[in-house]
Copies of this chain bind each other. A is one copy, B any other.
C-alpha cells in the first residue's frame, strides 16, 4: 500500500491549478499549495460511485485503479481538493467528471450533508486510521449513483465495478490508498449495504 492517500503532484487537476494562478483567483502555484498543505487542513470531497438497481438499492460499487508515486497500483475512490471560492457541489462535480469522464451522469445528493467524514493526518496514528503523507485533510464523503458510462481519465488506469460483497472483502478494502477502506465501509454502512 502506498502512503500517498490523495492525488499526487502529477495530478492533472493540480497541474491545471499551477498553470494559471494569482492570489485573488483562488488558484495556486505548486509552491503555494505545498506551503498551505503544511500549515492548515485542506478541505476535500470524496465520492463512492455506485450503480443502483430498481428500487434504488446499490448493486455495484466503482473503485478506481491508480498508479501512485511509487509506481505501485492502488485502489481509490473519487477524491479531490476543494478550491478557494469553489462550492462543495462544484468541487464534487469537477472531480467526478475528472475521474469518471463526461458521460457518467452522476446523481449528486440533494443534501450537502455528507454520509461520512474523513480525517486524514500526515502521520498515521493507528493502522485503522485514514492518513495522507502530504497533508492534513478533512473530507466530506458521499455515495453517488451514476447512470451513464464511466471513462476514467488517463492517470487512473481503470474503473472496476464490484458487488458490495466483493468490496467488503478485507483484501479489497486493504488495497485502498490512505486506508480509505475504513471510509468506504462507513459509506456502505450508511447506504444500508
| A interface list, Cβ under 8 A from B | 23-24, 26, 28, 32-33, 36, 38-43, 50, 52, 55-58, 81-90, 92-93, 107-117, 119, 121-122, 136, 138, 140, 143-145, 185-186, 189-192
Residue with the highest number of chain B CB atoms closer than 10 Å, among A38, A40, A84:
A40
- Choose one: B58, B90, B111, B114; the contact of A143 (CB below 8 Å): B111
Determine the distance from Cα of A82 to Cα of B36 in the docked complex, in whole angstroms.
14
Could you write out 12 A-B pairs with CB less than 8 Å apart? A39-B84, A42-B43, A43-B43, A52-B108, A55-B89, A58-B110, A85-B121, A112-B119, A113-B115, A113-B190, A185-B189, A189-B190
Please name the residue on chain B nearest to A108 by beta carbon. B56
Assess whether B113 is in contact with A117, with CB atoms less than 8 Å apart: yes
Assess whether B56 is in contact with A110, with CB atoms less than 8 Å apart: yes
Assess whether A112 is in contact with B191, with CB atoms less than 8 Å apart: yes
Assess whether B117 is in contact with A50, with CB atoms less than 8 Å apart: no
Known: A40-B40, A87-B55, A88-B119. A192 touches B112 (CB 8 A): yes
Determine the distance from Cα of A192 to Cα of B52 in the docked complex, in whole angstroms.
25
Determine the distance from Cα of A193 to Cα of B104 in the docked complex, in whole angstroms.
26
Assess whether A140 is in contact with B117, with CB atoms less than 8 Å apart: yes
Assess whether B113 is in contact with A88, with CB atoms less than 8 Å apart: no
Residues of B within 8 A of A43 (CB): 40-43, 138
Assess whether A88 is in contact with B117, with CB atoms less than 8 Å apart: yes
Known: A52-B108, A56-B89. A84 touches B117 (CB 8 A): no
Q: How far is the CB of A51 from chain B (nearest CB, A)?
A: 11
Residues of B within 8 A of A84 (CB): 38-41, 136
Q: How far is the CB of A108 from chain B (nearest CB, A)?
A: 3
Q: How far is the CB of A193 from chain B (nearest CB, A)?
A: 9
Residues of B within 8 A of A110 (CB): 50, 52, 56, 58, 109, 115, 143-145, 191
